[in-house]
Amino acid sequence: MAKKSFKKEKYTERLVLEINSFLRTGASDPRLSFLSVTKVEMSVDYSYADIYWDTFDISRRGDCKKAIEAAAPKIRSQLAKVLQVRQVPELRFVYDSQFVEEQKISDLLNSEKELGKSFSDDDSNEDEE
């Protein structure tokens, strides 16, 4: 596994912070207020950044995707102002399905747990007879 550099880690943390700040305070599109950046992955040469986002309201995911893609040039411009770097990476926005997947796993585990309880209850009733 490749070792993460401290510089890259700090840079990605700063990108997350600045983009989330822009979404909360600088965005004119109200759909962007439902978004949150969860993580950033940078290319080796810092020319591309995959910005992973999630929404608080899953039913608005399609609208949020359109809004974030439309706002990408403005976000990149804002990053150029605040980061003070030679070149701001090209931003690629990717929906982060991590939380949806975690919920599916949690639901599956809970249903298995309930199934196990009902199965053990059936066994205990047979033992009593």
**pLDDT single digits (tens) 10-22:** 999 999 999 999 9
Answer yes or no: is 83 within a domain.
yes
Number of domains in the chain: 2
Give residue 109's pLDDT band: very low, low, confident or very high (50, 70, 90). Answer: confident
Residue where the block lists tokens 């207020």: 33
Residues 56 and 112 in one domain: no
Cβ atoms of 101 and 59 within 8 Å: the answer is no
Domain ranges, residue 129:
98-129
State mean pLDDT over 67-92. Answer: 93
User: Sign (positive/negative) of CA torsion 23, 38, 95, 106?
Assistant: negative
> Does 119 score more than 80 pLDDT?
no
pTM of the complete model beyond 0.85: no
Q: How many CA atoms within 13 Å lie on the side-chain side of 66? A: 6
Cα–Cα dist 101/98, whole Å: 5
How large is the average pLDDT for residues 33-58?
A: 91
